[in-house]
Amino acid sequence: MADLAIYDTTLRDGTQREGISLSVNDKLKIAEKLDLLGVNYIEGGWPGSNPKDMDFFNKAREVKFKQARLCAFGSTRRPGVGVRDDQNIRALVEADTAAVTIFGKSWDFHVFNALFTSLDENLAMIRESVAYLKSLGREVIYDAEHFFDGYKSNPVYAMETIRAAAESGADVVVLCDTNGGLMPWELEETLEAVGRAVKAPLGIHAHDDAGMAAANTLLAVRKGVTQIQGTINGYGERCGNANLCTIIPTLQLKLGLAVVSPEQLQGLTKLSRYVAELANIVPMEQQPYVGYNAFAHKGGIHVDAVSKRPETYEHVDPLAVGNRRRILVSELAGRSNIFLKARENNIALLKEHPETKVVLELLKEMEHAGYQFEGADGSFELLVLKTLQAYTPLFKLEGFRLIVEKRDNGRLYSEATIKVRVGDQEVHTAAEGNGPVNALDNALRKALEGIYPALKEIKLADYKVRVLDGKDGTGSQVRVLIESRDDQKSWGTVGVSTNIIEASWLALVDSLEYGLICRRLPGTELENVKGVLRQLKTDILY
């Protein structure tokens, strides 16, 4: 099999996903990360479509890529316009990239109903555009848009379009499943016919509207395709593009095809989350290989087996893609869950120790009451420490009062008054907020920051409320999950109550206390936590 080339179109096709809008600086940063991953081509955008993409190409000239070739994207010339006079073609030339990708119509339906031209003129557009760009010394990649739909409609004409590109000098002819409805068996039959008719190297560009993009791409590789087009996290219009975060590790770890180095592959999870962060998209937790839950184990039998031989329930080593194993705790947990989860959080318990059983039973009772610790590592660790009687809370709540008032101007006004005790010191203060929970958070921080100044570094990153059982209407039990972070890590905490304020308070207190524990502040009870745990019997070690 010929060497495979990975062609990334996150910066162009990926940005067509609803909700994604990358700045020029965002695109430059992602391009550099893609280069570090080891992709061969980075499609930077369509310079003829908007000023931002042209600005990107101008600035990208200053970037020294280690491996990747930057590629400008555009269309063939327009009907009835000379190739040298076409604005889109001129913009491609001005982008000054070594490689250029142009797309043309393969489906006669599109020729008649989108271009409003003849079949012969469409062929001339393809030939002249490819030949002109080749005459300028550019590497030309031809994307045969809607090829598979075109082949179903008029196989003879669809073949003529890609032959026109190949005979005009296209370096690669990419077959596009633009509507994303292709089935694998259809792809296999079509590729066999194309392979007999066209001698140019072939590529595949799949969309995921039928959930087949990754499967079709991998099958195309097995049928001899040498260029793979896709996006990080599968971002793209409608249901997205072929997901390179699934395809690259599958090629590497399942098919034995070294498309990137092992060290580069280990950076895949980090890259996936980096792109999601810049795109302001919540990472897909269930995403294969790189998802937060890709190597998460919940069932007690599964966890016990994984603790002995990871391959019992893991198809690859999570470290190979830069991910990590996670042990979840829930009402389905066994002792192995508690044992491994505690070890994951730097608390080593003996699996058969009585304290482990105590933690397990308490955990199951709390989950039955509505708690969920799968996304609340901070609350879980505090639960273990308190059950072992190895931790004293940092403060004692004497009481709080909340006022929510709607005033004449129509705005809601929220104020929290709080009284807490730290040792012999009592602090009584008040603060306003955007809502009752925010006001309570502000008041608590105001009361404690003079004693625990590191609280200023702890930020609330996310706040979720879920109604556990709606049968009681507004009096139903609710679960609050809070995600917090500082400059070192992030963690989750949980609170459950029929009162949303109380549930929020429980999660909030865990969040701040756990954050302070992690920072191990001097001059407080925190510095004694590790020592207390060490003083426990040798069965339980920190």
197 assigned to some structural domain: yes
The whole-number pLDDT of residue 2 equals 59
| Residues near 41 by beta carbon (within 8 Å), at least 6 away in sequence | 5, 6, 7, 8, 68, 69, 70, 71, 99, 141, 227
- Residue 87 falls inside a structural domain: yes
Please check whether residue 248 lies inside any domain of the structure. Answer: yes
Give me 256's structure tokens.
């034995």
Strand pairing class (69-75; 326-327):
unpaired
Of 182, 179, 223, 181, residue with least CA distance to 203: 223
Q: Is 366 helix (H, G, I), strand (E, B) or coil?
A: helix
What pLDDT shows up at residue 427? 93
Q: What is the CA radius of gyration of the chain?
A: 29
Q: Is residue 93 part of a domain?
A: yes
Give 310's contacts (C-beta < 8 A, 6+ positions apart).
317, 325
Three-state secondary-structure class, residue 104: strand
Q: Cα torsion for 31, 240, 224, 195, to the nearest 10°?
A: -120
Which is nearest to 73 in space by CA: 63, 84, 88? 88
Domains: count for the chain: 1
Task: Indicate whether 76 belongs to any domain.
Answer: yes
Domain CATH number, residue 216: 3.20.20.70
SS3 348: strand
482 compared with 265, residue with greater pLDDT: 265
The band of 345, judged by pLDDT with boundaries at 50, 70 and 90, is: very low
Q: Which two tokens stand for residue 120?
A: 């012969």
| pLDDT tens, position by position, 58-113 | 999 999 999 999 999 999 999 999 999 999 999 999 999 999 999 999 999 999 99
Identify the pLDDT of residue 46.
94
Cα–Cα distances (Å) from 35 to 13, 29, 39, 250, 524, in that order, read 18, 10, 6, 19, 47
d(CA 292, CA 279): 18
Supply the range of the domain harboring residue 167.
5-260
Q: What is the mean pLDDT of the chain?
A: 85
What percent of the chain has pLDDT above 70?
85
Domain assignment of residue 250, yes or no: yes
Instruction: Answer whether residue 67 is part of any domain.
Output: yes
The rounded distance, in Å, linking the Cα atoms of 489 and 192 is 51
Give φ, ψ of 66 to 5 degrees.
Answer: -80, -35
Q: Is residue 240 part of a domain?
A: yes
